[in-house]
Structure 1
């Protein structure tokens, strides 16, 4: 299932997992001029004209070939190159976060391919030695597995589940229904967003929502409803979106992760956003999708 209201989760590709150890097939697809390759410098990419450039295999430098999968009757790869051997100037390469606004919408259908590529590149960059014995690691299965050359232990890409939630109070849809937004001290003045946090071992996602809200702002949450999810390889998260119903409304911020938190009606949100005193979450984030879904239309103001 895909979630059209969560932009970076749309247009998934066939990951072709059964082909990852088929060397003959991989070589055949790499030789195909229709195949497309995204070059990744460590964990950075090089935009051309503000967009990512997919090249033919013959135009790609040397590096680790990572199979992303198939879509539109062609194969898609990432090519991970050593930063010291990357083509062009070092300043040409930027983190994925810089390009997120360009990855949303129907005009950029390859967003899931890019997130797949960067997620694997981040994992390959961070996983240098075997965590069991400290031995060296060799890539297998087209970049989706690392095997220790000493003890033979396999390592696989890690994804950390993180919950992100919009908490509401009042009769759903009523004029006085309110949603809860918070802000971190490092954010620009006036910026507020949904609360979020990582799921802990042995914890359900719903309980993670309740715990994080209680820890950060002191509000007690009862019912929790699933909304959708979004990959977030910055560096290795899966953002799982929820709506939570508040059972208390008094706010007590932790003054660590959260500097301020406030309740907003739709009318208050509109007035403050249009006045420029409230900056809402940006256009490709799942936090934007959560707030927009609750608001009932395009969010006011700018981000």
Structure 2
């Protein structure tokens, strides 16, 4: 049976208690051993197929105005990656309008998470997702939501304080549900979204509304988007998804309904698959399912009972 959790074991100690101490980030930046991850316009600097962890000695002494610094964590032992245990990692979020990037190593390039996720190791995945989420937050919280005055980054990049009213603001996570729908005959119902190509099928997802439990949200979203009623739910696992700041709560949902009704707003089509039908459709290219680092793929393979092979892979 496939382990239904796409998130690897933790590779970072985030130092959550220590990073709020005065001078903590400055002390880390004073260590020649720390390494820097660079974000610019929603993309991370890559070294080939891996996340680039830059030696601070090669970086400009003066940062562009508006750069945000965030302490991401300390590397733990026992992981298959390029950094030694105890290395501190700091994120530099460059301002959107930063133009002088001549210091960037020639072999490095900026890339989005979706484009490179499947080639990343466990540390890179954890760092990239954390960095993306906190970078998104800094980009949208430059001013106080109460009074509109500028906010200042504090607590090693994990809190912003308003200079006018003193209010403190922290990164937030939006809960969302994602459901693999299983019918009475043990087939799975997968949906095709209008934002995708016509042959891509996946699970159904949606945000939890204010005052709503995750279970109620799952039942509501499934009824709204594909028109079937769930009579049972079982929680499987979760995955952080930083677009912009979601926590995906994964469920298996069970229904006796047999005829789906797509909402024609988000969902273009919905289709039942048996296990043999789904594997054959993937092999032929008739259906494309979510990539293996996604919780959607993990839920589908949890139902399938093992690894779904891609075209060209050996059985």
Contact 1:195 1:213 in 2 (8 A): yes
Contact 2:182 2:254 in 1 (8 A): yes
- Residues 120 and 193 of structure 1: CA distance in aligned 2, closer, same or farther (over 3 Å): same
- Residues 277 and 51 of structure 1: CA distance in aligned 2, closer, same or farther (over 3 Å): same
Instruction: Report the alpha carbon displacement of residue 277 of structure 1 after superposing the two structures with TM.
Output: 0.8
Aligned residue pairs, count:
293
Contact 2:8 2:122 in 1 (8 A): no
- CA RMSD in angstroms comes to 2.2
- Residues 4 and 74 of structure 1: CA distance in aligned 2, closer, same or farther (over 3 Å): farther
2 CA distance for matches of 1:215 and 1:207? Answer: 12
Task: Find the counterpart in structure 2 of residue 76 from structure 1.
Answer: 89
1:94 aligns with 2:103: no
Task: Find the counterpart in structure 2 of residue 13 from structure 1.
Answer: 12
2 CA distance for matches of 1:243 and 1:97? Answer: 24
2 CA distance for matches of 1:239 and 1:124? Answer: 21
Instruction: Report the alpha carbon displacement of residue 156 of structure 1 after superposing the two structures with TM.
Output: 1.0
Instruction: Report the alpha carbon displacement of residue 92 of structure 1 after superposing the two structures with TM.
Output: 4.2
Aligned with residue 306 of structure 2, among 291, 297, 300: 297
1 CA distance for matches of 2:116 and 2:273? Answer: 30
1:33 aligns with 2:50: no
Task: Find the counterpart in structure 2 of residue 231 from structure 1.
Answer: 240
Question: Which structure features the higher share of helix residues?
Answer: 1
Task: Kindly provide the CA deviation profile for residues 175-199 of structure 1, in whole angstroms up to 9, marking residues without a partner as x.
Answer: x520110001231231100000000
2 CA distance for matches of 1:113 and 1:247? Answer: 41
- Residues 84 and 92 of structure 1: CA distance in aligned 2, closer, same or farther (over 3 Å): farther
Contact 1:137 1:147 in 2 (8 A): yes
1 CA distance for matches of 2:26 and 2:272? Answer: 56
Task: Find the counterpart in structure 1 of residue 78 from structure 2.
Answer: none
Task: Find the counterpart in structure 1 of residue 142 from structure 2.
Answer: 128
1:194 aligns with 2:203: yes
Contact 1:19 1:26 in 2 (8 A): no
Contact 2:38 2:92 in 1 (8 A): yes
1 CA distance for matches of 2:70 and 2:96? Answer: 16
- Residues 247 and 202 of structure 1: CA distance in aligned 2, closer, same or farther (over 3 Å): farther
Task: Kindly provide the CA deviation profile for residues 184-232 of structure 1, in whole angstroms up to 9, marking residues without a partner as x.
Answer: 1231231100000000111111111100000001100021111111111
1 CA distance for matches of 2:196 and 2:14? Answer: 36
Instruction: Report the alpha carbon displacement of residue 254 of structure 1 after superposing the two structures with TM.
Output: 0.6
1 CA distance for matches of 2:58 and 2:247? Answer: 32
User: What SS does the corresponding residue of 1:82 show, helix, strand or coil?
Assistant: coil
Task: Kindly provide the CA deviation profile for residues 235-282 of structure 1, in whole angstroms up to 9, marking residues without a partner as x.
Answer: 111111110111322211111110100111111112222222111111
Contact 1:280 1:302 in 2 (8 A): no
- Residues 218 and 160 of structure 1: CA distance in aligned 2, closer, same or farther (over 3 Å): same
2 CA distance for matches of 1:133 and 1:28? Answer: 33
1 CA distance for matches of 2:255 and 2:118? Answer: 32
Task: Find the counterpart in structure 1 of residue 98 from structure 2.
Answer: 85
Contact 1:225 1:244 in 2 (8 A): yes
Give me the TM-score of the superposition, normalised by structure 1. 0.89
Give me the TM-score of the superposition, normalised by structure 2. 0.86
User: What SS does the corresponding residue of 1:46 show, helix, strand or coil?
Assistant: strand
Instruction: Report the alpha carbon displacement of residue 147 of structure 1 after superposing the two structures with TM.
Output: 0.8
Instruction: Report the alpha carbon displacement of residue 57 of structure 1 after superposing the two structures with TM.
Output: 2.5
1 CA distance for matches of 2:100 and 2:242? Answer: 24
Instruction: Report the alpha carbon displacement of residue 45 of structure 1 after superposing the two structures with TM.
Output: 1.4
Identify the range of structure 1 (232-241 vs 36-45) with the bigger mean alpha-carbon deviation.
36-45
